[in-house]
Chains A and B, each alone.
Chain A
Amino acid sequence: MVRKLTLLLSALTVSIAVLAADNQYVLGVDGLACPFCAYGIEKRLNKVDGVTGVQVDVGESVVHVILQEGKTLTEDQARKAVDEAGFTLRSYSKAEGKKGGSNGQ
């Protein structure tokens, strides 16, 4: 019961934050396999100009990057940040159906 509530709360928190953000990018990141590793990618992406939030979905190997209105995250910026964190960018897209491009490994 407690576990279900925890999961529900986590899901709600992520969903609300993600839905509230209208300037969001979704990065597929390969090599992510534990929570401790996720911190490095969060820290690195948070240094990118305009980034207000980073949410790592470790189970899906996906990172949601939320930016200020009017700011952009280019694929090169995303790739550099992911590389510097020690991982590999698998895919890159702008949320809300506006694809910013895609680039498999």
Chain B
Amino acid sequence: MGSNRRSVSVLALIGSLLLTGENTAQAAPNTFNTALPVAQGQYLWREQLVLRERSDDGPLDREVSVQALGSVLGYGVTSKFAVFGMVPYFFNKELDVTTPMGRVERDTAGFGDISLFGRYTLYKKDFTGSTFRVAPVFGLTAPTGDDNDSDRFGELPRPLQAGDGAWDVFGGAVVTYQTLQYQVDGQLLYRENGRHDGFARGDETRFDASLQYRIWPRSMKGVPGTPGFVYALLESNLIHRERDDVGSGTDANSGGTQWLLAPGLQYVSRGWIVEGTVQLPVAEDPRGDAIEDDYIVRVGFRRNF
């Protein structure tokens, strides 16, 4: 019994150490946070399936697997100001780890924390066939997800929960330059994570860039109306996370810096966008034994109405 309790404590500790920096199925930055307009009175609906695998090479052989759906609804309040709501649903969020009891699997499912944010187009310069826009973004994440799920070993470690129980705020700016041939987006975002029940995820700073290059139609000469475009995508995500707060100290095995590159494809029509990318780590500098990303697949669609 005592051994079991010790094992459970070890599991809780391992979980909280290993899942640090768990990024839920955020809509951004996978080409979502452009500074492009959502027309006044227009809605934008987006669904994105996220498959994320993380692991380490340590003796615990930790593996984290996340399958989630990110749902986003946006609305153009004015031509310059749009509001968005985003909620992730976790089909499965699973940790596999080697313990003194052997290989152990712990998992959860359910809705995560809701994010609400606004985007205001501060500057725009339109040209014939192109546009340049700058838009600050501010938002918050509410603790709507379950943050005290448990299994036969007891309460799940905090980072494995669908929600983290805390209010978070984030803000930044997104810049877009779009022409008929290509589009470039850059986003700088800072997220300050709140504290709940003795735990706070490390704050996060990220710089995301995205290039979308039209590969079909190859030329717009003589093409009437509004044909669908096919873009080749290449995204870059540079992310730095501070250490998590645990109790009165910080978790030495959390946080760090990573750089991901994501090639992909996007089909854009008047009413629909269908897109997919695979984010792959190019460089990772985790602190201590923080777990690292293997890959993140994002596929989904957007709909205008």
Q: How far is the CB of A33 from chain B (nearest CB, A)?
A: 5
Q: How far is the CB of A10 from chain B (nearest CB, A)?
A: 5
Across the interface, do B183 and A32 meet the contact criterion of CB distance under 8 Å?
no
Across the interface, do B268 and A84 meet the contact criterion of CB distance under 8 Å?
no
Across the interface, do B226 and A58 meet the contact criterion of CB distance under 8 Å?
yes
Decide yes or no whether A20 CB sits under 8 A from chain B. Answer: no
Give the complex CA separation of A12 and B2 in angstroms. Answer: 80
Partner of B226, one of A57, A83, A85, A90: A57
Query: How many A residues, CB 8 Å from partner?
Result: 38
Q: Which residues of A contact B229 (CB under 8 A)?
A: 34-35
Decide yes or no whether A31 CB sits under 8 A from chain B. Answer: yes
Q: Which residues of B contact A35 (CB under 8 A)?
A: 226-229, 268-270
Q: Which residues of A contact B183 (CB under 8 A)?
A: 33-34
Q: Given the known A-B contacts A7-B222, A57-B225, A58-B226, are A33 and B129 also in contact in the complex, defined by CB atoms under 8 Å?
A: yes
Across the interface, do B225 and A44 meet the contact criterion of CB distance under 8 Å?
no
Across the interface, do B225 and A85 meet the contact criterion of CB distance under 8 Å?
no
Q: Given the known A-B contacts A34-B268, A35-B270, are A14 and B224 also in contact in the complex, defined by CB atoms under 8 Å?
A: yes
Give the complex CA separation of A55 and B270 in angstroms. Answer: 11
Query: How many B residues, CB 8 Å from partner?
Result: 41
Q: Which residues of B contact A40 (CB under 8 A)?
A: 37-39, 42, 76, 304
Across the interface, do A87 and B37 meet the contact criterion of CB distance under 8 Å?
yes
Decide yes or no whether B236 CB sits under 8 A from chain A. Answer: no
Decide yes or no whether A95 CB sits under 8 A from chain B. Answer: no
**Residue of A13, A33, A37, A87 most packed against chain B (CB within 10 A):** A33
Across the interface, do B131 and A33 meet the contact criterion of CB distance under 8 Å?
yes
Within 8 A of B (CB), among A49-63: 55-59, 61
Decide yes or no whether B121 CB sits under 8 A from chain A. Answer: yes
Q: Given the known A-B contacts A39-B304, A59-B220, A85-B40, are A33 and B225 also in contact in the complex, defined by CB atoms under 8 Å?
A: no
Decide yes or no whether B193 CB sits under 8 A from chain A. Answer: no
Across the interface, do B223 and A59 meet the contact criterion of CB distance under 8 Å?
yes
Within 8 A of B (CB), among A2-49: 3, 7, 10-11, 13-15, 28, 30-44, 47
* Closest A residue, CB atoms, query B216: A3
Q: How far is the CB of A16 from chain B (nearest CB, A)?
A: 12
Interface positions of A (Cβ within 8 A of B) = 3, 7, 10-11, 13-15, 28, 30-44, 47, 55-59, 61, 83-88, 90, 105
Give me the 3 closest cross-chain CB pairs, A-B, nearest first. A86-B37, A40-B39, A31-B126
Interface positions of B (Cβ within 8 A of A) = 36-42, 76, 78-80, 121, 124, 126-131, 178-180, 183, 217, 220-229, 268-271, 273, 302, 304
Q: Beyond the given A10-B224, A11-B224, A37-B36, please list 18 additional residue pairs across the A-B interface where CB-CB is below 8 A.
A: A3-B217, A7-B222, A10-B225, A28-B128, A31-B124, A31-B131, A33-B183, A34-B183, A35-B227, A36-B36, A36-B268, A40-B39, A43-B39, A47-B41, A56-B226, A59-B221, A84-B79, A87-B131
5 A-B pairs (CB sep. < 8 Å): A10-B227, A35-B269, A40-B38, A44-B42, A58-B220
